[in-house]
Amino acid sequence: MKKRYILNYDENQYGAVVAQDGAETMVQVDDGDMTPVNFRPVLNGKAISIRFGGRLHLIHLTNSGGNGSVQATIGGRPVSLTVMDELRAQALESLGDAAGSGTICADIPGLVFQIKVSRGQIVHKGEPVIVVEAMKMQNELVAAISGTVTEVPVSEGDSVNPGDPLVIIEPEPGA
Amino acid sequence: MATSKTRRKFDKVLIANRGEIAVRIIQGLREMGLGTVAVYSEVDRTALHVLMADEAVFIGPSPAAESYLVGDKILAAARKTGAGAIHPGYGFLSENGPFSRQVEEAGLVFIGPTAESMEVMGDKLASRRKMRSSGVPVVPGTDEAVTDPEVAIGIAEGIGYPVLLKASAGGGGKGMRIVRESGEMASALRQTMGEAGSAFGNDAIFVEKYIENPKHIEVQVLGDGQGNAIHVFERECSVQRRHQKVIEESPSPSLTPELREKICAAAVQTAAAIDYRGAGTVEFILAPDGEFYFLEMNTRLQVEHPVTEMVTGTDLVHAMVKIALGEGICYRQEDLRQHGWALEFRLYAEDPSRNFAPSIGRIESMTIPQGPGVRLDLGIYEGFDVPIHYDPMLAKLIVWGEDREQAIARSRRVLSEFTLHGPVHNLPFHQWALEQPSFIDGSYTTHFVGEEFDPANWMPELDAGQAEALVAATALFEALRRSGQATDEKNVDCAAGNWRRNALRSMTGNK
Res B202: pLDDT: 81
Give the number of other Cβ atoms within 10 Å of residue B232's Cβ.
26
B301-318: average pLDDT? 98
pLDDT class of B285 with cuts at 50, 70, 90: very high
Q: What is the DSSP letter of B107?
A: T
The per-residue pLDDT for A98 is 41
**Residue B500 annotated among the catalytic residues of the structure:** no
Question: What are the chain A neighbours of B425 within 8 Å (beta carbons)?
Answer: 78
Using the predicted structure, report yes or no on whether residue B213 has a pLDDT greater than 90: no
Please say if the pLDDT value at position B254 is more than 60. Answer: yes
Burial state string for B252-280 with b = 16 or more CB within 10 A and e = fewer than 16:
bbbbeeebbeebbebbbbbbbbbbbbbbb
Q: What is the band of A101 on the pLDDT scale with cuts at 50, 70, 90?
A: low
By the 8 A CB rule, do A24 and A41 touch?
Answer: no
Residue contact A7–B475, C-beta within 8 A: yes
Mean pLDDT of B199-204: 80
Q: Which of A63-67, A90-94, B210-214, B256-260 has the lowest mean pLDDT?
A: A90-94
- For B398, the 3-state DSSP assignment is strand
Query: Which pLDDT band holds residue B346 (cuts at 50, 70, 90)?
Result: very high
Reduce the DSSP state of residue B114 to 3 states and report it.
coil
Residue in A23, A60, A62 closest to B505 by CB: A23
The CA distance from A125 to the nearest CA of chain B, in Å, is 29
Cα B186 to the chain's mean position, in Å?
36
Q: Which residues of B335-350 are buried (b: 16+ CB within 10 A; e: fewer)?
A: eeebebbbbbbbbbbb
A67 pLDDT band, cuts 50/70/90, is low
The answer to whether A39 contacts B473, with C-beta atoms less than 8 Å apart, is yes
pLDDT at A4 over 60: yes
pLDDT at A71 over 80: yes
Q: Classify the phi-psi angles of B264: left when phi > 0, otherwise alpha if psi is within -120 to 50, otherwise beta.
A: alpha
- pLDDT at residue A99 greater than cutoff 60: no
**pLDDT above 90: residue B437:** yes
Chain-centre distance for alpha carbon B327: 27
CA distances for B15 relative to A37, B19, B89, B281, B320, angstroms: 52, 11, 7, 20, 13
Q: What average pLDDT does the segment B462-470 reach?
A: 91
Nearest beta carbon to residue A27 from set B431, B462, B476? B476
Interface test with B, best of A4, A27, A33 (most B CBs within 10 A): A27
Residues A78-99, buried b or exposed e (16+ Cβ, 10 A)? bbebbbbbeebbebbeebeebb
Give residue B488's pLDDT.
37
Per DSSP (E only), the strands in B133-228 are 163-171, 174-179, 205-209, 215-224
Query: B244 vs B168, which has greater pLDDT?
Result: B244
Q: Is the pLDDT of residue A1 over 80?
A: no
Minimum mean pLDDT range among A122-126, B205-209, B334-338: A122-126
Going across the sheet that includes B55-58, the strands are B55-58, B35-40, B12-15, B85-87, B109-110
> Using the 8-state DSSP alphabet, how is residue B328 labeled?
-
Measured over the CA atoms of residue B427, residue B429, residue B435 and residue B438, the dihedral's sign is negative
B490 near A CB under 8 A: no
CA separation for the pair B176, B209 (Å, rounded): 12
Chain B's closest residue to A76, CA to CA, is B416
Q: Which of A2-11, A26-35, A166-175, B20-29 has the highest mean pLDDT?
A: B20-29
Indicate the helix (H) or strand (E) that contains B485: helix B464-488
Q: How far is B263 from chain A (nearest CA, A)?
A: 38
What whole-number distance in Å separates Cα of residue B13 and Cα of residue B88?
10
CB-count burial class (<10 Å; 0-12, 13-18, 19+) for B412: middle
Taking the C-alpha atoms of residue A69 and residue B76, their distance in angstroms, rounded to an integer, is: 47
pLDDT at B491: 32
Q: Cβ atoms within 10 A of the Cβ of A152, count?
A: 19
| Cα B43 to chain centroid, rounded | 22
Confidence of residue B505 (pLDDT cuts 50, 70, 90): very low
Q: What angle do CA B275, B281, B282 make, to 5 degrees?
A: 80
| pLDDT reported for residue B149 | 86
The answer to whether the Cβ–Cβ distance between B466 and A57 falls below 8 Å is yes
Band (B201; pLDDT cuts 50, 70, 90): confident
How far is Cα B492 from Cα B470, in angstroms, rounded to an integer?
28
CB contact under 8 A, B506 and A40: yes
Q: Is B388 on the interface with A (CB under 8 A)?
A: no
Helix (H, G, I), strand (E, B) or coil at B380: coil
Q: Three-class SS of residue B289?
A: coil
Closest CB to B506 among A25, A47, A78: A25
Task: Single out the residue of B74, B83, B78 nearest to residue B12, CA to CA.
Answer: B83
Question: What 8-state DSSP symbol labels residue B338?
Answer: -
Instruction: Give yes or no for a cis peptide into B437 (omega within 30° of 0).
Output: no
- Side chain identity, residue B152: A
**pLDDT tens digits, residue range B469-500?**
999 999 999 988 887 643 333 333 333 334 44
Of residues B18, B260, B277, B300, which has the active-site annotation? B300
Task: Give the containing element (helix H, strand E) for B158.
Answer: helix B149-159
Burial bucket for residue B293 (CB in 10 Å: 0-12, 13-18, 19+): buried
Total-model pTM: 0.81
Which residues of chain A lie closer than 8 angstroms to B505, CB-CB? Answer: 23
The more confidently predicted of residues A106 and B239 is B239
SS3 string of chain A?
CEEEEEEEECCEEEEEEEEEECCEEEEEECCCCCEECEEEEECCCCEEEEEECCEEEEEEEEECCCCCEEEEEECCEEEEEEEECHHHHHHHHCCHHHCCCCEEECCCCEEEEEECCCCCCEECCCCEEEEEEECCEEEEEECCCCEEEEECCCCCCCEECCCCEEEEEEECCCC
Q: Read off the pLDDT of each residue in B319-327 and give the average, rounded to a whole number.
A: 98
Helices (H) and strands (E) in chain B, counts: 17, 22
- pLDDT of amino acid A137: 64
Q: Tell me: ipTM over 0.85.
A: no
Helix (H) or strand (E) holding B501: helix B494-508
Integer-rounded Cα Rg, in Å, for chain A is 18
Q: What is the pLDDT of residues B113-122, one digit of tens each?
A: 999 999 999 9
Neighbours of B503 (CB within 10 A): 19
> pLDDT tens-digit profile of A33-50?
998 999 999 999 999 999
User: What's the CA gap between B425 and B428, in Å, rounded?
Assistant: 8
Residue B171 pLDDT grade (very low, low, confident, very high; cuts 50, 70, 90): low
Burial category of B494 from C-beta neighbours within 10 Å (exposed 0-12, middle 13-18, buried 19 and up): exposed
% chain B with pLDDT above 70: 92
When pLDDT is averaged across residues B138-166 and rounded to a whole number, the result is 89
Q: B365, B414, B424, B499: which to substitute to probe chain A, counting the most A Cβ within 10 Å?
A: B365
pLDDT-based confidence at residue A92 (cuts at 50, 70, 90): low
Alpha carbons B149 and B187: distance in angstroms, whole number: 9
Query: Looking at the predicted structure, is the pLDDT value of residue B221 above 80?
Result: yes
What percent of chain B clears pLDDT 90, i.e. is strictly above it?
76
| Residues in B touching A23 (Cβ below 8 Å) | 502, 505, 510-511
Work out how many CB contacts closer than 8 A connect A with B.
Answer: 150
pLDDT at position B168 is 76
Q: Could you tell me if B362 lies within 8 Å of chain A, comparing CB atoms?
A: no
Q: How confident is the model at residue B147 (pLDDT cuts 50, 70, 90)?
A: confident
Supply the mean pLDDT for chain B. 91
CB B229 within 8 A of CB B222: yes
Residue of B222, B340, B203 lying closest to B272 (CA atoms): B222
Nearest Cα to Cα of residue A62 among A74, A51, A54, A71? A71
Residue B146: DSSP 8-state: B
| Lowest-confidence region among B98-102, B199-203, B500-504 | B500-504
Q: Is B65 on the interface with A (CB under 8 A)?
A: no
Please tell me the distance in Å from B256's CA to the nearest CA on chain A. Answer: 35
Cα dist from A174 to A120, A147, A151, A171, B354, whole Å: 18, 10, 20, 8, 40
Provide the pLDDT confidence category of residue B409 given band limits of 50, 70 and 90. Answer: very high
- Min Cα distance A121 → chain B (Å) is 34
Looking at per-residue pLDDT, the higher value among B222 and A3 belongs to: B222
pLDDT tens digits along A133-167: 766 567 778 787 888 899 899 988 888 877 788 99
